[in-house]
Amino acid sequence: MTAFILRRLLISLVLVFLISLISFFIITLTPGSPYPWGELNPKVSEEVKRVFRAKFHLDRPLHEQYAFIMRDLFTGELRSIKDERPVLEKIGERLPATLVLNLGALSLSLSFGLMLGIYGARHAGRPPDMVTSVLAFTFIALPGFWVSYLLAIGLVNYAAVPILGTHTIGVAFSSGAEVFLDRWWHVMLPASILAIGGVAVQSRFIRASMIETLREDYIRTARAKGLDENTVFYRHALRNSIRPLITGIGLLLPALISGAVIIENIFAYPGIGRLGYEAVLERDYPTLVALNLVTAMLVLLGNLVADVLYAVVDPRVRLE
Amino acid sequence: MITTTPEPLALAAASPGRRVWRRFGANRVGMTAAFMVLLLGLIAVVFFILDFFGVPWPMDPNATNLERKLLPPNTTNLLGTDNLGRDVLSRLLNGAYISLTVGFIAVFVSLSIGVTVGAVAGYFGGWVDNIVMRVVDAIMCFPSFFLILTAVALLGPSIFNIIVVIGLVSWTGTARLVRAEFLTLRESAYVQAARALGQRGPKVIFRHILPNAAAPILVTAVLGVPEAILAEAGLSFLGFGVQPPQATWGNIIADGKTYILDAWWLILFPGLAILLAALSFYLTGDALRQAVETRSERQ
């Protein structure tokens, strides 16, 4: 087990290096520049430009720029071009909100996906399965921003569901429990919309996994023993088909973070997706490099956790 | 309980390719979806030609008329008008070819890269495979939409940039699939025979292995189109898609969101168009996958 984790960590280090290269070159190899005064502004003197370039190491060759950015990033010294605050600090204050949002979306995806998948597998090849299949693909095909707007109209007009921010503004709650509930009440809507695609993807995986398990010999044995179909289905088959619940953590995470970029903007939710969009608008290179790096590393971490969990849950998996 | 219906004798005797098509034809959901895809393609082609020759039909998608702005669906404007008095139906039909073009060409780009990379990694194996697949793993860690958004925003939003960036970001799945196919196929008897006859790398790859991996590649291609369509719609929505005045399904919604409480038709119809297009491709792709995979399911 320890050897496995160590080996995975080593591969992850290689991946982190590749990830950092990709996020750096995506930003630097694209044309245009991050100068806050605009590329060709004649009013800015050469001296100012020189000082600015030197400050952000833009006057160095590419490989040195990369080295500087990575050194600054890991020492926490990398600063945003826009407001000169440390990038890690900016990301740090936005990250918890996004984690809560994604955690909500992930648990909704896994639980509802499980239910839909089980239902589909139970009726495999018959009309109810066809209906859930089409439903699942409809969920995947739904543009999140469109659903958000449609739901927002309906909810604003007919229900008191909050559609902005992370908490009720201007209300002083007396207890921590109320603050906590208020937070979750605000996360509910964006998390549900974010989870729509995840539910569908997850249900497809669960369904496929269950159908495969139902072909196993021990299922035939169980039926031959005269066990009723429910016992066979939920006790024998389901337990051996929940692998996608764990692999789903690693698989859904990138899609959820991608979706969060749009959803956080619509619901004025202060997470890293919104920070990313703001950085894109401002051409804030250091923040963009750091954000791409941090989100990719989050996904990497998710995959690592999923792999380890997988081995813990399923004794058939042998770790080398 | 799973029941597999035994295939009729005639079906079993037909060639593998023909069997796949017959199975696909028997899938009613898949056939309906495929019909929708063809219909969409037809609409896209027709309205591209109309646009190319400057024929304003049913109306000019870019003609503004401020006296007739924000009208709900009526007999003149079947789907209503937007805040500049432009006809929503005309803009939707005109935007169709943008979505489909982005979808198809982006998939073409990603397939070209994915198939080449996957073939090289799977055929040569060893350290080549190791390096290439680590790069694939690294790219797969990125939340793809954020990566696309970053690149498109920095490059400047244009239809060409959008297509290239979506293609460049989304080839990794294909590469993995093609590599896996190659790893199994390169050990097969006919590939060994071709090698024994003295055929070298490229010829073995393209002549002998690739045609046998065509089916799963086709499936990923069809499933890739809606991904690209949705990515373009998302970019347009954030203001980094194809730029106005050219109408796209995404930017009609983006423009309409300001008037959301007064003009629901500006949001509803373009969203339905995106949903319908993406759904048709997904269902076609899934039906195709089932038709291709039944072989292994029967064993």
Let me know if residue B74 belongs to a domain: no
Q: What is the DSSP string of A262-295?
A: HHHHHTT--SHHHHHHHHHHHT-HHHHHHHHHHH
Let me know if residue B219 belongs to a domain: yes
Burial of B3 per CB tally in 10 Å (0-12, 13-18, 19+):
exposed
Spatial neighbors of B222 by CB under 8 A, at least 6 apart, are: B281, B284, B285, B288
Let me know if residue B204 belongs to a domain: yes
Let me know if residue B61 belongs to a domain: no
pLDDT beyond 70 at B230:
yes
Let me know if residue B60 belongs to a domain: no
Least CB-CB distance to A14: which of B134, B149, B226?
B134
Could you list the residue range(s) of the whole structural domain that residue B148 is in?
15-53+80-293
Residue B43 structure tokens = 């609409």
Q: Into how many domains does chain B fold?
A: 1
Q: Strand, coil or helix: what is A86?
A: strand
Least CB-CB distance to B282: which of A141, A259, A276?
A141
Instruction: Read off the CATH number of the domain in which B217 is found.
Output: 1.10.3720.10
Q: Strand, coil or helix: what is A314?
A: coil
Residue B109 structure tokens = 């780009």
For residue A296, which residues of chain B lie inside 8 Å, CB to CB?
138, 141-143
Distance CA A154, CA B169 (A): 36
Mutant choice from B144, B150, B296 vs A, greatest count of A C-beta within 10 A: B150
pLDDT of residue A39: 65
At A96-146, the pLDDT tens digits run 999 999 999 999 999 999 999 999 999 988 899 999 999 999 999 999 999
Asked if the bond preceding B211 is cis, omega within 30° of 0, the reply is: no
pLDDT classification of A179: cutoffs 50, 70, 90: confident
Q: Strand, coil or helix: what is A45?
A: coil
Three-state DSSP string of A225-261: CCCCHHHHHHHHHHHHHCHHHHHHHHHHHHHHHHHHH
DSSP character at residue A174: S
Distance from B156 to chain A by nearest Cα, in Å? 9
pLDDT of residue B298: 40
Let me know if residue B117 belongs to a domain: yes
Instruction: Answer yes or no: are the C-beta atoms of B178 and B133 closer than 8 Å.
Output: no
Asked if the bond preceding A61 is cis, omega within 30° of 0, the reply is: no
pLDDT classification of B52: cutoffs 50, 70, 90: confident
Let me know if residue B90 belongs to a domain: yes
Let me know if residue B187 belongs to a domain: yes
Q: Does B229 reach chain A within 8 Å, measured CB to CB? A: no
Task: Tell how far CA B157 is from the center of its chain.
Answer: 20
Q: What is the DSSP string of B112-143?
A: HHHHHHHHHHHHH-HHHHHHHHHHHHHHHHS-
Say yes or no for a CB contact (<8 Å) between B143 and A258.
Answer: yes
Distance CA A51, CA A57 (A): 10
At A271-319, the pLDDT tens digits run 999 999 999 888 888 898 899 999 998 889 888 888 888 878 777 766 5
Name the residue with higher pLDDT: B15 or B248.
B248
pTM, two decimal places: 0.90
Distance from A173 to chain B by nearest Cα, in Å? 32
